[in-house]
Structure 1
Amino acid sequence: MSATAETGTGTFGHPALFYRGAAEYLAGTVPFVRDGLAAGEPVAVAVPGANLELIERELGADAARVRLLDMTVAGRNPGRIIPGVLRAFADSHPGKPARIIGEPIWAARSAVEYPACAQHEALINLAFSGRDATILCPYDADALAPDVLADAEATHPVLIDGTGQRSSPAFDPTGLIERYNQPLPVPSGAFELDGTTDLAAARALAHVRAAACGLAEDRLGDVEMVVTELLSNSVEHGSGSGTVRFWGGDGEFVCEVHDRGRLTDPLAGRHPASPYQPRGRGLLLVNHLADLVRLHTGEGGTTFRAYFRA
């Protein structure tokens, strides 16, 4: 079972690997890595820690030539993966066809996280359109639910499993992005600042509320920064003001900002930013600092929701 066959060169390839057990996992990933190394291509592997150990052990000395990342850390927030993992690696090797294994969905992902994971997989196709790269995405066919595997068929044009390789007749990343673009219900008891432009007040309240929810002191600054950036984005690019909400407990804090504008760029917050870029990095920073970011946009406005965990 080869993950390299028919993925193409000089264009973007995005196959899904449906594996059952460690033997199929290694058969689908390690040849993909070694073929890239043999061709002189830069190779990165970003998968959950246990699978990372499997690949590293199987590669032996070749592992030193591969960028290895634990996706449970680097991709804790799915919104961070495109700019902080995939594009960060590909862009650091200009003029070369990057080869990456990215496994952003695993069985322990929560129901709250999953929609952002599925949308991330769909957005990869937009972020790398026309780029010279191949990103192989493994899916544990034994541990993941059937609807997760069905979504993978919608986000990947090529499917690989123990029987071989085939094109996906269900490939429709744009449709999947919209299908998971659902309103985000607000729990009862959420504290709300309605239609505000007061960044200082929102920041101060975020600090107090996050501390009351049990967040560590070193995370409170992250919360303040995220609330500031989200509200600033609503003031500058949304409807001129934003409704800020806070809630949480048991070591988790959630903040969201809603405005009446509509987001038109599906990759907002996922575009890499140059260190010399004076503006346009606010949503990128939000994705970097939060443990999870959920988004809904439509005729009724746009909501960004950021989660922080102890």
Structure 2
Amino acid sequence: MTIQPEAGPYGPSRSAPAEPFTHPAFFYRGAADYLAGTTRFVRDGLAAGEPVAVAVPRGNLELIRGELGEDAAEVSLLDMGEAGRNPGRIIANVLRAFADLHPDVHVRIIGEPIWPGRSAAEYPACLQHEALINAAFAGRDVTILCPYDLDGLDPAVIKDAERTHPVLMDGSGTRPSPGYALESVLRECNVPLPAPPGAAAMSYGDGFCDDPLGRARAFAVEHAARIGLAGERLEDLRLVASELAANSLDHGGGSGSLRIWSEDGQVVMSVSDAGHITDRLAGRHPADPRQLGSRGLLVTHLLGDLVRVHTGPQGTTIRVHFDVGGPAGA
């Protein structure tokens, strides 16, 4: 992605014949620093007549709302802790959902998907999401500013932000990132996802059983209910199991395997088959009502609390986490 030397603090100058999409990481320390950078970004956009959205964790959202005062009414405000609970749904359900409403003007979005308190299990999905933003918005007239808390986040997370953002910004100004490495990050995020030895398992399709979808659904629901998943969340798991099993039958060689287990207060379901996902943004494209065929991976991202994918020529594994007793927030 080309970085133009004449880029301003929040994106390219309007006269620069540059890649219109910009994706700066904003490094800050403390609330005052955070508010100075984010509210300037918002107010500059409003002054230019540009649509602006802010998707950050609730505490930071309230700080920004209070600092903006009456200007907050002109901004789309979202709690990223809910909307981005699963990082895999942010591109389609938050960023594209807003940007696609305004196809003919420059759009500004603050997106904060990584904050102190994100779990070790969630972080690789957050890292992959930040890298994929660059592929999802290439060529779009959009600026997505991503705040990073220098005091609250591990230094390794800050180094990763330099690898996933072409532009870096802090109190001293804006500069191209010397560490930007999109392809390297995406390769590192595509890691095998083995199930633990005690996981319940079943196979479906290609003669393993009659009614493979029904049996996969029943198996998943039975074991998830034993672990403690109930109500709407159990129905969400039922739908995801059905969609992923259908993908295996249609696109994964006609058969697959399903595993399910309990981990850290969650039900974890893993589906593996012989398919190979070649679209790096699969499951992250907004749904087109005219689209034919399965939307199983998009549904999975919208309903799961965390989704991880490993894919290659030898097959694909999709792992979905569901909080026991908690909503997905989709």
Judge which range, 107-116 or 235-244, deviates more. Answer: 235-244
Which of 34, 37, 55 aligns to 1:28? It is: 37
Asked if the contact 1:102–1:135 (Cα under 8 Å) also holds between the matched residues in 2, the reply is yes
In 2, Cα distance between equivalents of 1:279 and 1:19: 44
Could you tell me which residue of structure 1 aligns to residue 117 of structure 2? Answer: 108
In 2, Cα distance between equivalents of 1:234 and 1:117: 26
Could you tell me which residue of structure 1 aligns to residue 200 of structure 2? Answer: 191
* Secondary structure at 2:78 match in 1: strand
**Sequence identity (%):** 60
Judge which range, 229-238 or 23-32, deviates more. Answer: 229-238
Structure 1 unaligned spans of 5+:
none
1:68 aligns with 2:72: no
Could you tell me which residue of structure 2 aligns to residue 143 of structure 1? Answer: 152
* Secondary structure at 2:275 match in 1: coil
Asked if the contact 2:204–2:216 (Cα under 8 Å) also holds between the matched residues in 1, the reply is no
Could you tell me which residue of structure 1 aligns to residue 67 of structure 2? Answer: 58
Asked if the contact 1:214–1:249 (Cα under 8 Å) also holds between the matched residues in 2, the reply is no
Structure 2 unaligned spans of 5+:
1-6, 207-211, 325-330
In 2, Cα distance between equivalents of 1:100 and 1:176: 23
Compared CA separation, residues 209 and 4, structure 1 to 2 (3 A)? farther
| Cα RMSD (Å) | 1.5
Asked if the contact 1:103–1:138 (Cα under 8 Å) also holds between the matched residues in 2, the reply is yes
In 1, Cα distance between equivalents of 2:114 and 2:290: 33
Could you tell me which residue of structure 1 aligns to residue 327 of structure 2? Answer: none
Superposition deviation, residue 251 in structure 1: 4.1
Superposition deviation, residue 93 in structure 1: 1.5
User: In structure 2, what residue type is equivalent to 1:11?
Assistant: P
In 2, Cα distance between equivalents of 1:213 and 1:33: 45
Which of 44, 49, 55 aligns to 1:46? It is: 55
Could you tell me which residue of structure 2 aligns to residue 203 of structure 1? Answer: 217
In 2, Cα distance between equivalents of 1:264 and 1:249: 29
Compared CA separation, residues 277 and 165, structure 1 to 2 (3 A)? same
Asked if the contact 1:269–1:282 (Cα under 8 Å) also holds between the matched residues in 2, the reply is yes
Compared CA separation, residues 53 and 20, structure 1 to 2 (3 A)? same
Superposition deviation, residue 279 in structure 1: 2.5
Could you tell me which residue of structure 1 aligns to residue 9 of structure 2? Answer: 5
Q: TM (normalized to structure 2)?
A: 0.90
Superposition deviation, residue 238 in structure 1: 1.7
Asked if the contact 1:213–1:250 (Cα under 8 Å) also holds between the matched residues in 2, the reply is no
Superposition deviation, residue 290 in structure 1: 0.5
1:242-274 alpha-carbon deviations (Å, 9 max, x no partner):
111111166411111111222111100001112
Asked if the contact 1:196–1:244 (Cα under 8 Å) also holds between the matched residues in 2, the reply is no
5 Å matches for 1:1-310?
A: 5=9, 7-8=11-12, 9=14, 11-196=20-205, 198-248=212-262, 251-310=265-324
In 1, Cα distance between equivalents of 2:29 and 2:128: 24
Superposition deviation, residue 43 in structure 1: 0.3
In 2, Cα distance between equivalents of 1:269 and 1:209: 26
Could you tell me which residue of structure 1 aligns to residue 209 of structure 2? Answer: none
In 1, Cα distance between equivalents of 2:252 and 2:197: 25
Q: TM (normalized to structure 1)?
A: 0.96
Show structure 1 runs of 4+ deviating over 6 A: none
Judge which range, 132-141 or 173-182, deviates more. Answer: 173-182
Asked if the contact 1:214–1:251 (Cα under 8 Å) also holds between the matched residues in 2, the reply is no
Asked if the contact 1:102–1:138 (Cα under 8 Å) also holds between the matched residues in 2, the reply is yes
In 2, Cα distance between equivalents of 1:242 and 1:82: 28
1:35-77 alpha-carbon deviations (Å, 9 max, x no partner):
1001111100000000001100000000000000000000000
In 1, Cα distance between equivalents of 2:35 and 2:263: 41
